[in-house]
Chain A
Amino acid sequence: NAGVTQTPKFQVLKTGQSMTLQCAQDMNHEYMSWYRQDPGMGLRLIHYSVGAGITDQGEVPNGYNVSRSTTEDFPLRLLSAAPSQTSVYFCASSGRGQGPSTRYGYTFGSGTRLTVV
């Protein structure tokens, strides 16, 4: 059981480049979300999804796109990278209800450290 897998772990982009951060979970979780972590700011919600085909914006969605074509995958796309998007990105997932899949709350991936120069 791999949990939540994020790739890549590290990435350096030039301003204006685009890229996709991958997130996959193998727990059949309905809910998935993306956060960015910046010093002194905690984790801020970028986008989230309640199921395949359904996404919504969080607190800081500008400059990012998401899609949810399958239950397992929730990629985050940076359309035109900017230095302000330098951050550590975390993907998380959770299941519905109080069953074993939600016993440990939301499960987080290990993060992607992105630097935009």
Chain B
Amino acid sequence: AQSVAQPEDQVNVAEGNPLTVKCTYSVSGNPYLFWYVQYPNRGLQFLLKYITGDNLVKGSYGFEAEFNKSQTSFHLKKPSALVSDSALYFCAVRGANQAGTALIFGKGTTLSVSS
């Protein structure tokens, strides 16, 4: 069965510092991996995805994520955090061989960036 784990409920960083939001996954075969962000009382916004190719994926708002197959991880990173990055972040996965199935989400990590 597919699953996603986000081990931290909350991540706190100071503005200007680098940030990492962790995600590990379990899926049969090759994974399709996604990061979404949700601002208060809003829907989910797509940040980036890994399908194949370069292990370092660049996305919206300066975020990037590194796919590590041996560690089954897909951590979200940003070199310099902004207060406006404060939001709820979700990692999601589906199997590459599971066309048509929906995404499975982690429980989310709240990112708080202080000024």
Contact = CB atoms under 8 A, between A and B. Distances in A.
- Tell whether A pairs with B: yes
B34 A106 contact: yes
Interface of B: 6, 9, 34, 36, 42-46, 49, 51, 90, 92, 99-108
Interface residues on A, range: 20 to 34
21 contacts: A30-B100, A31-B102, A35-B105, A40-B9, A42-B90, A43-B90, A43-B105, A44-B105, A45-B103, A48-B100, A48-B102, A50-B99, A50-B101, A92-B103, A96-B99, A105-B36, A105-B46, A106-B46, A106-B102, A110-B42, A110-B43
B102 A92 contact: yes
Interface in A31-58: 31, 33, 35, 40-45, 48, 50-51, 58
A96 B73 CA distance: 25
